[in-house]
Structure 1
Amino acid sequence: MKIANSTRADITEIFRLYESATNFQKTKYTLHWPKFETSLVETEIEENRQWKITIDGKTACVWATTFDDPQIWEERNADPAVYIHRITTNPEFKGQNMVATIVAWAKEYAKANNKTYVRLDTVGQNEGLINHYIKMGFNFLGLYNLKHTDQLPSHYHGNPVSLFEILI
């Protein structure tokens, strides 16, 4: 297992995994991911904020990070944190607890970058996902209605978000 930054060569696979995740979301929930802009992922790759886990040469999981997330975290954005977005597991690797691997990595990444928190969010009150993140060590901070969603993907518009954090 290897964790590394994604590259431009990974873009097709990243979007294949996003599509797979969105299709799964549509079978379970009323809220699901929109189609993300290629430029979003390209920027994350250029800024070394798009990550992947590879196992035996296959992409097992992808996610993105940022150190700044003011539209979601509002006044809490002032805290030194690493924010995780769009965790997506390859269906071939479901059940191998990729989130636990990401959490362990993120704690070390946060320390190395002088951050105090690892944070993530999910749109809506998805009890299964809330419980999963709690089991992974996150504190569930509750549901929040965001004030400024104009620069966020469409699934954030008009929907509450569940916020989570781990204090390092």
Structure 2
Amino acid sequence: MELQITNSTLNDIETIFKFYKFATDFQKAKSMVSWPEFDRRLIEQEIEEERQWKLISDRDIACVWATTFDDPEIWEERNDDSAVYIHRIATNPDFRGRNLVNHIVNWAIGHAAVNNKNFVRLDTVGENRGLIDHYTKCGFDFLGLKKLHNTTGLPAHYDNATVSLFEIRL
């Protein structure tokens, strides 16, 4: 299985939203905090800014995610650190269980290095032990839980939320 990571394009937007729907349905089935319906303009902006990514296996999109270099509402004072932040990893159900997060992590470490960043970070809403274990197995340090204070501008699932924070120091 040959894997390639590249920027998503506007032609991928329907697939991105389909993967978000798969992820949301999975979250609901597991009684987890589920993602809201994301604003199409947000995804279009991420694509235009080359911050929306896809992992391709042969000719199929296996998963998608977004990145940013700034995440003050979640990371607050730690946002001053130079970091790549990963958001909304959504996997094609045909590719679940193939450890794709490991590929994303390896790519993100390289992406951070090329962009002179010192950390790769991500968060997840709530205290999901399965995701905590999964992300630590992928190389992240679990930093603990943090109650969010100012969620203005964040998607709805962050309202009044506690998040699990993860990072890899480079």
Bin for the TM-score computed over the shorter chain:
over 0.9
Identity across aligned pairs (percent)? 60
Q: Does 1:22 align with 2:24?
A: yes
Cα deviation code 1:118-151 (max 9, x no counterpart): 0000000000001100111101011001110011
Cα distance between partner residues in 1 of 2:9 and 2:110: 22
Cα distance between partner residues in 2 of 1:59 and 1:30: 25
Q: Which runs of 4+ in 1 moved over 3 A?
A: none
Corresponding residue number in structure 2 for 1:104 = 106
Q: Decide which of 3, 11, 14 is 2:13's aligned counterpart.
A: 11
Cα distance between partner residues in 2 of 1:64 and 1:30: 21
SS in 2 for 1:161: strand
Corresponding residue number in structure 2 for 1:87 = 89
The one-letter code sitting in structure 2 at the alignment partner of 1:49 is R
Corresponding residue number in structure 2 for 1:161 = 163
Corresponding residue number in structure 2 for 1:151 = 153
Contact 2:124 2:164 in 1 (8 A): yes
RMSD (Å), alpha carbons: 0.6
Q: Could you list the runs of 5+ residues in structure 1 that have no partner in the other structure?
A: none
SS in 2 for 1:62: strand
How many residues are treated as equivalent by the alignment?
Answer: 168
SS in 2 for 1:140: strand
The one-letter code sitting in structure 1 at the alignment partner of 2:42 is L
Cα deviation code 1:6-53 (max 9, x no counterpart): 000000000000000100000002411000000110000000000001
Q: TM-score, normalised by structure 1?
A: 0.99
Q: Could you list the runs of 5+ residues in structure 2 that have no partner in the other structure?
A: none
The one-letter code sitting in structure 1 at the alignment partner of 2:85 is Y
